[in-house]
Amino acid sequence: MKENLEKWGEVIENVPLSNYTTYRLLGTADYLIKPKGIGSLLELLKYLKKQNKKYQIIGGGSNLIFKKHYDGVLISMDNFKDIEIDGNYCIVGAGYSLIALALKMSKLGYTGLEFATGIPGTVGGAVYNNSGAYNSDMSQIVKSILVITPDLEIKRMYNRDLNFHYRGSYLKDQQGYICLEVSLALKEGYIDIIEEIIENRKKRRLESQPLNFPSAGSVFRNPEGKSAWKLIEELGLKGKTIGGAKISEKHANFIINEGNATGEDIIKLINEVKKQVKDKYNIDLILEQEIIK
């Protein structure tokens, strides 16, 4: 299969998942391909569908949990990084780093992306998950996106079409859509104020989050009116370990990889937390991250 895939981009075989997930998971995937552009991606998708070979789009791998082996093709958006800035409007490829974009636009004096300066992953992944922090999220700045539909058509979708909601969107709910580029509308601001906000939030993250270990950020969504971390902490689950995965002692809504975690370790720990929270509080915690089968 590798020879066929190479027609559409760079291909790596027997890919270590540790290189493509922020959890740095043990395990492998059959193939990873970096399509050269939209045309190559479309042809690749047609081929994979015809071969009945499963695939997974990956950006920064910041919200993905793979089991020990993925018997499919990882499609990297690494070549989708074009950026065009026109005043306070920005058109950016889905593979562009969200943190890099947030810092770039902030340094230019545009406000609206300060919340994203600590969120790993890509712009496309951030739209898919409606990533956010500090009471802001992507729904507030996305003007439109260009996608490939499940029927392999290229289509522009506008903010009103995307059904943004807490850590979710139309793309996440419907599946099969692939974000290619994102148009953002920001506002002019004062660089010194923007930089002060970014620095203060960076300090808060360093104090409250286990950033010295591989993780994928918050594991669970906050139930309405409650904080997931507080429920988990009240159950005494900080420090709970399964295999190489551990509930952070610094922030109870983070699972960290202490060095040799598999996706299966993390999934078992997630299931244990969900069970105990359900038993104690009758609350069904909703996973913010995504388990890839």
CB contact at 8 A, 258 and 240: no
Q: Quick check: helix, strand or coil at residue 55?
A: strand
Asked about 167 being catalytic, the answer comes back as: yes
* Catalytic site residue from 114, 181, 264, 288: 288
DSSP secondary structure, 201-244, as one string: HHHHHHHHS-TTS---SB-BPPPTTS-HHHHHHHTT-TT-EETT
C-alpha span between 162 and 143 (Å, rounded): 10
Cβ neighbours of residue 167 closer than 8 Å, sequence gap 6 or more: 129, 130, 131, 132, 221, 288
* Catalytic site residue from 114, 139, 167, 183: 167
- Any idea what DSSP says for residue 287? B
* Catalytic site residue from 97, 144, 218, 248: 218
Residue 137 β-bridge partners: 132
Asked about 288 being catalytic, the answer comes back as: yes
Q: Which of 37, 32, 38 is nearest to 64 (CA)?
A: 32
Active site residues: 167, 218, 288
